[in-house]
Structure 1
Amino acid sequence: MNVEEEVGRLKEEMQRLGQLQPDGSYKVKFGVLFNDDRCANIFEALVGTLRAAKKRKVVKYEGELLLQGVHDNVEITLLPLPATTTA
């Protein structure tokens, strides 16, 4: 799986596990993602996928590196897609 494909799968899983916010974003705690059986089967390196998604401004969270246990309560936000305008 390439990075773009993994980021796309991450978006799907965050929508499945997260809470929809009024602004269209989704929020999910790192521990929920990390401990989910389906995510464990999809992502070989969840932390690496999260870092790639953060670099692409798809998600945001505090810090650089998330560690299981220590950062289980860190909230990860899947940012809403920018509105497109039609001319």
Structure 2
Amino acid sequence: MNVEHEVSLLVGEIKRLGGPNAEGKMSVKFGVLFNDTQCANIFEALVGTLRAAKKRKIITFEGELLLQGVHDNVDVVLLSE
């Protein structure tokens, strides 16, 4: 698995599914990403890709780990491309 490639795909999906937040940064709810059919086909391990992107400071979200259902309303915010 090429993490850099997965992260770049994630950036594209956040742009496709999200919109600007109050600070003008692209943002999407975790539940929207998790439940999107196209994302499900692209990412084998969405949560792992999100953590890798957060570690690289490309995205941010509250907490360390996002779980489907519990964190569906958490914003995933794009910091850089």
Relative to the length of structure 1, the TM-score reads 0.86
Asked if structure 1 preserves the Cα contact closer than 8 Å seen for 2:59 and 2:80, the reply is no
Q: CA deviation at 1:80?
A: 3.8
1-side partners of 2:75 and 2:17: how far apart?
12
Q: Which has the larger radius of gyration?
A: 1
Matching of residues 1-87 of structure 1 within 5 Å: 1-21=1-21, 24-81=24-81
1-side partners of 2:23 and 2:68: how far apart?
28
Unaligned residue ranges in structure 2 (runs of 5+): none
What is the root-mean-square deviation in Å for CA atoms of aligned residues? 1.4
Percent identity, aligned pairs only, is 68
Q: 3-state SS of the aligned residue for 1:11?
A: helix
Asked if structure 2 preserves the Cα contact closer than 8 Å seen for 1:34 and 1:40, the reply is yes
2-side partners of 1:10 and 1:23: how far apart?
20
Relative to the length of structure 2, the TM-score reads 0.93
Aligned residues: 81
